[in-house]
Amino acid sequence: MPIGPFQPSDKIRIPLEVTLNGRAIAISNPRVQRLIGPSGADLSGFPMTMTALKTGTYMLELILTTLGNYTAILQGELGNDTIEEIETFVIEKPFGLPRIEIATDE
């Protein structure tokens, strides 16, 4: 399910929740492994570690300014296995902008 939408320079929060049989569980090394930008290329600076909010709940906050669709590849380790989740989001123009209003003498 996509998160957002966001506007340029918004604080983007990418969440990850890990459960087993409906119960939150901790994983090792929760991270955004890759962030793919609107051009289809990977953004630099990744992987980036996610912050643990509570058991099984993690978050990464970042600010982006380029308009378009993004794909985040989230990963972590559970025992000997690497688990993976994909999140998508969009950064779009603020609603109603740009706008030109022309006044007349009527």
Partners of residue 76 on adjacent β-strands: 83
Task: State the alpha helices, DSSP H only, in 1-101.
Answer: none
Instruction: Compute the distance between CA of residue 101 and CA of residue 77 in angstroms, rounded to an integer.
Output: 54
Predicted TM-score of the model (pTM):
0.83
Residue 105: inside a domain, yes or no?
no
Per-residue pLDDT of the chain (106 residues; tens, 9 = 90+): 568 789 898 999 999 999 999 999 999 999 999 999 999 999 999 999 999 999 999 999 999 999 999 999 999 999 999 999 999 999 998 765 555 667 776 6
Instruction: Compute the distance between CA of residue 20 and CA of residue 73 in angstroms, rounded to an integer.
Output: 20
Residue 64: inside a domain, yes or no?
yes
Residue 49: inside a domain, yes or no?
yes
Write down the residue that tokens 């459960």 correspond to: 19
The first and second tokens of residue 86, run together, are 């994909």
65: domain CATH number? Answer: 2.60.40.1930
Residue 100: inside a domain, yes or no?
no
Residue 53: inside a domain, yes or no?
yes
In angstroms, what CA-CA distances link 47 with 19, 43, 94? Answer: 22, 10, 29
Number of domains in the chain: 1
What local confidence, expressed as pLDDT, does residue 95 receive?
Answer: 67
